[in-house]
Amino acid sequence: MLDRVRNIGIMAHVDAGKTTTTERILYYSGTKHKIGDVDAGSTTTDNDELEQKMGITINSAAVFVEWADRTDRPVAINIIDTPGHVDFTAEVERSLRVLDGAVGVFCAKGGVEVQSETVWRQATKYKVPRIAFVNKLDRMGANFWGCVEQMKTKLHANPVVVTIPAGQDSALEGVIDLIEMKLITRDLSDETNRKFFAAEVPERYLADAQSRREQMLDGLSAASDELTELLVKEQDVPIGLIRTALRKGTLENIFTPVHCGSSKMFHGVQQLLDLVVDCLPSPLDRPPVLGIHPKSKEHLTRKPDASEPMCALAFKTVTESSGDLVYIRVYSGEMRPGETYVNTTNGKKERVTRFFRMLGNKRIAREIAGPGDIVAATGLSETYTGNTLCDLDEPIALEAIRFPKPVVSQALAFSKTLDGGKVGEALNRLVRDDPTLKTHTDEETRETILSGMGELHLEISIEKLKRAVGVPQEDTKLVTLGRPRVAYRQCLAGPVDFEWKYAKQSGGSGKFAVISVRYSPLTPEQIEEKVREIEELNDPKIKPDPNNIYFVNSVTQATINKEYIPSVEKGLREGAKKGSLYPFPFVDLEFDLHFGKMHVKDSSAEAFYLCAVEAFRKVQEQVGIELREPIMKVVVISPKDYQGQIAGNISSRRGVIEETSEDKGVCQVVAKVPLANLFGYTNDLRSATKGQASFSMDFSHYASVSLELADLPRPDVKK
């Protein structure tokens, strides 16, 4: 039954305890009988040798467990453990696109860190209901209520606390359930860590627990008029009504339930599973998936029903020696091995050979996949991330997954002893499997350029490439990386109204076009207004431009045939992909076509396209450009003794410190720093703090930078 299915993601900042939490869930559900450990490299989800070597999650991994609901019926829970490092944000993005709910894990000591904000925003974008789990209450310096307050200020969340800690750090006894008013503690004599006691709340915690319960009920009243009425009358609120209000408010994103515990010490994990079942949505609780007919562009929907036409979205591909493994979320209908479906993204027919329910790197073969199922399929040679698979006779195209653009590039060099064809194939597969990786050949140097989300992202990608080609990991000379390059953006230095005539005559019909265009750099406020206008249209075919390049047709008289207008837009957009001086895309521009001329015989769509391309090149020469560099939000955490060195180092890197705080001898520095000045920061920070500091960064925005400060390639000036 679909009401007993949960598709959830575990998301958080680096080192918040996502993988350990997933391991404890597998253990308590009975899926795994031996407890895995991150430090020992024995976890189910971090099964890649690179993950085990570095102690971090790099790839999202899917697992399946069963947990009984409150009527003792089994609930199937598909869990995706996602990476916490910002460099691997694509794994979070594509996972949240296909999930119904999420668990945000927070470290009770670190609180809401920069990547916590990123993944929270991603979940908000997809309107994914979520619950919060404040983990690591056993750590020295744990501050549960400080973390809850940060959820309000940094995430703009509305937290409703449903459990509170009984003691913290070394004094942690267990957790107090505010719904049933019970203290839940572990049986310390039980070596299996499975036995727990539920007792009355001790006197030393009772007053605080009662006060916190009143706050919880007040928060829940936003989702239940019946509960509100009982509170007004000062009557007892039944536990059943509390759970009903809790589920309703979570599903409608009115508030976020907050639970606490320590996964490493086994506190709170079973109650977390109860909350997943109680609060997070089944496929039936989510709205029907939206799409369009690939030919007629008619708006279509698919409900989570086995009797509906089959419809599924591919959200991840993994290259294997025996063929690709494609991860799929089924939204409607039923998928069966041996059946043929159409990929409406590329129009090709695909036959599913087999598919599996995944448990880390283990596979359980399935004979049928229905609505809500997440499976990994083989036999799909032409289906990639973001592609839609559906019934041949009932085609639908779902919205593709949008990924952030790379911000760092490095040149790749390969030894002549390597098989060039094998290297090229492996590189193509690497880029195909990771949509935030891009590769191209520099036109001048003929170097292969690899672009990604950060230095660690590129480092890991090269290790994967070596493994695919068969290069020994210890051999650092066969595949090497050049120095990092920044992915700049550019905009026109100012507005201009520019007319350009394109006329070519070479015997027979010529080419003639004249266009007058107002070129206007857009302010952040203007961009917000344009995005708001597009969202108000509520048309899935019209989306905000990722580079904020907008075209307006203001031609009021029949000076240009309507059929030529799209060619003008196409030419301007083509010109904006790469500047005439520097090879970076343009951003934040409006092209307003307001006048033009044409010739009865010599004008054509091609002539207007070429006119637009040439006009934009001339405008750059006339007005000049404003170069923009990526600015990163950097958060450094270290012992307070090193705060001065950290601040000085950030200032020397053109950084601006926005916030500093100190708690129990630990300081946090928040700053905005140009990405170009962050290369090598990891080693510098380790040296300055004797390895005692850590930092995280996330893309913030693009900002203007002088040409003198920018790390630029040689200008491509055409004489």
Could you tell me the end-to-end alpha-carbon distance of the chain, in angstroms, rounded to an integer?
A: 70
In a domain, 713, yes or no: no
- What is the per-residue pLDDT for 32? 56
The confidence score (pLDDT) of residue 43 equals: 55
Model confidence at 56, pLDDT cuts 50, 70, 90, reads low
Pairing of strands 374-378, 354-359: antiparallel
Q: Which two tokens stand for residue 119?
A: 């993944």
Q: Is residue 716 part of a domain?
A: no
Residue 715 belongs to a domain: no
> Which pLDDT score, from 0 to 100, does residue 188 have?
84
Q: CB–CB of 203/178 below 8 Å?
A: no
| 274 and 335 in a common domain | no
Give a yes or no: residue 598 inside a domain: yes
pLDDT at 716: 47
- Residue 717: pLDDT band with limits 50, 70, 90: very low
pLDDT surpasses 60 at 715: no
Beta bridge partners of 635: 670, 696
Distance CA 108, CA 85 (A): 18
Two tokens, residue 631: 């600015």
pLDDT at 505: 78
Neighbours of 685 (CB within 10 A): 21
Mean pLDDT of 564-574: 95
Same domain, 244 and 278: yes
Contacts of 315 (CB under 8 A, 6+ apart): 94, 95, 97, 98, 327, 328, 329, 385, 386, 401
| 117 plus 60 within the same structural domain | yes
* Cross-strand bridge partners of residue 165: 175
Answer yes or no: is pLDDT of 218 > 90.
Answer: yes
Of all residues in the chain, the percent with pLDDT exceeding 70 is: 92
Q: What is the mean pLDDT of residues 689-717?
A: 76
Give me the phi and psi of 66, to 5 degrees please.
-120, 140
If you average pLDDT over every residue of the chain, what do you get?
87
Q: C-alpha distances in angstroms, 549 versus 26, 494, 534, 545, 606?
A: 47, 15, 13, 6, 21
Do 261 and 142 reside in the same domain of the chain?
yes
Q: What confidence score (pLDDT) does residue 718 get? A: 43
Domains of the chain: total? 5
Distance CA 86, CA 404 (A): 11
Measured CA to CA, the distance from residue 278 to residue 272 in angstroms comes to 10
At 664-692, the pLDDT tens digits run: 778 889 999 998 888 888 778 878 887 77
Range of the structural domain that residue 360 is part of? 289-398
Residues 254 and 281 in one domain: yes
Band of the pLDDT at 174, cuts 50, 70, 90? very high
**In contact, 466 and 450? CB cutoff 8 Å:** no
* Nearest alpha carbon to residue 630 among 680, 584, 675: 675
Q: Check which CATH number belongs to the domain holding 580 and give it.
A: 3.30.230.10
Residue 453's pLDDT is 80
Tokens of 539: 């048309």
Please indicate, yes or no, whether residues 141 and 226 belong to a single structural domain of this protein: yes
- The answer as to whether 710 is a domain residue is no
Query: How confident is the model at residue 46, as a pLDDT?
Result: 47
Task: Examine the pLDDT at 642 and tell me if it is beyond 70.
Answer: yes
Q: Determine, yes or no, domain membership for 709.
A: no
Return the closest-CA partner of residue 559 out of 550, 568, 549.
Answer: 568
At 211, give phi and psi (nearest 5°). Answer: -65, -45
Position 695, amino acid: F
Of 202-211, 297-306, 394-403, 687-696, the poorest mean pLDDT is in 687-696
Collect all residues with Cβ–Cβ distance below 8 Å to 338 and sequence separation of at least 6: 351, 352, 353
What pLDDT is attached to residue 313?
93
pLDDT at residue 442 greater than cutoff 80:
no
Q: Cα separations (Å) of 497 from 219, 372, 485, 594, 702?
A: 55, 53, 34, 10, 25
How confident is residue 554, by pLDDT bands cut at 50, 70 and 90? Answer: very high
What is the rounded CA–CA span in Å between residue 605 and residue 611?
Answer: 10
Question: Residues of the chain with pLDDT > 90: what percent?
Answer: 50
Mean pLDDT of 130-155: 93
Let me know whether 301 and 249 are in one domain.
Answer: no
d(CA 37, CA 171): 23
DSSP 457-476: HHHHHHHHHHHHHT--TT--
- pLDDT band for 33, please (50, 70, 90 cuts): low
Distance of CA 47 to the CA centre of its chain: 21
Q: Is residue 425 domain-shared with residue 300, that is, in the same domain?
A: no
CATH number at residue 30: 3.40.50.300
Decide if 83 contacts 54 (C-beta within 8 A): no
Look up the CATH number of the domain holding residue 419.
3.30.70.870
- Of the two residues 716 and 166, the one the predictor is more confident about is 166
150 shares a domain with 56: yes
In this predicted structure, the answer to whether residue 36 has a pLDDT above a threshold of 60 is: no
Domain presence at residue 82: yes
pLDDT in tens, 247-256: 999 999 999 9
Between residues 297 and 83, which one has the greater pLDDT? 297
Q: Round to whole Å and give the CA distance between 366 and 311.
A: 17
CA atoms within 13 A on the CB side of 362: 9
Residue 239 pLDDT > 80: yes
Q: With beta carbons less than 8 A apart as the criterion, state whether 342 and 398 touch.
A: no
* 377-385: average pLDDT: 89
Residue 64: per-residue pLDDT? 86
Specify the pLDDT at position 403.
80
* Most confident range, picked from 118-122, 280-284, 382-386: 280-284
pLDDT score at 477: 64
pLDDT for 496 equals 96
- Checking if the pLDDT of 574 tops 90, the result is yes
On whether residue 717 sits in a domain, the answer given is no
- Tell me the average pLDDT across 67-93: 82
With 80 as the cut, is the pLDDT of residue 609 above it?
yes
Residues 519 and 569 reside in one and the same domain:
yes
Q: Span 197-204, mean pLDDT?
A: 94
At 259, list the tokens. Answer: 């639970």
Closest to 277 in 3D by CA, of 10, 2, 75: 75
Q: Is the pLDDT of residue 638 over 80?
A: yes
Nearest of 9, 125, 127, 17 to residue 62 by alpha carbon: 9
The residue among 433, 458, 487 that closes a domain is: 487
Question: What sign results for the dihedral spanned by CA atoms 581, 582, 586, 589?
Answer: negative
Closest alpha carbon to 481 in 450, 440, 454, 457: 450
Lowest mean per-residue pLDDT among 224-238, 505-519, 570-584, 704-718: 704-718
pTM for the whole structure: 0.72
Domain end among 487, 519, 551: 487
Burial tier of 106 (Cβ tally within 10 Å: 0-12, 13-18, 19+): buried
Q: What is the mean pLDDT of residues 200-213?
A: 96
Task: pLDDT band for 392, please (50, 70, 90 cuts).
Answer: very high
Cα–Cα distance, 572 to 609 (Å, whole number): 8
- Whether residues 482 and 498 fall in one domain: no
Q: What is the pLDDT of residue 242?
A: 97
Strand-pairing partners, residue 543, are: none
- Could you give the CA distance from residue 173 to residue 199 in angstroms, rounded to a whole number? 12
Residues 6+ apart with CB under 8 A from 320: none
pLDDT of residue 104: 93
Over residues 112-136, the pLDDT tens digits come to: 887 788 788 888 888 899 999 999 9
Same domain, 439 and 362: no
Nearest 5°: CA angle at 538, between 535 and 543?
55
Of 285, 308, 335, the one marking the end of a domain is: 285
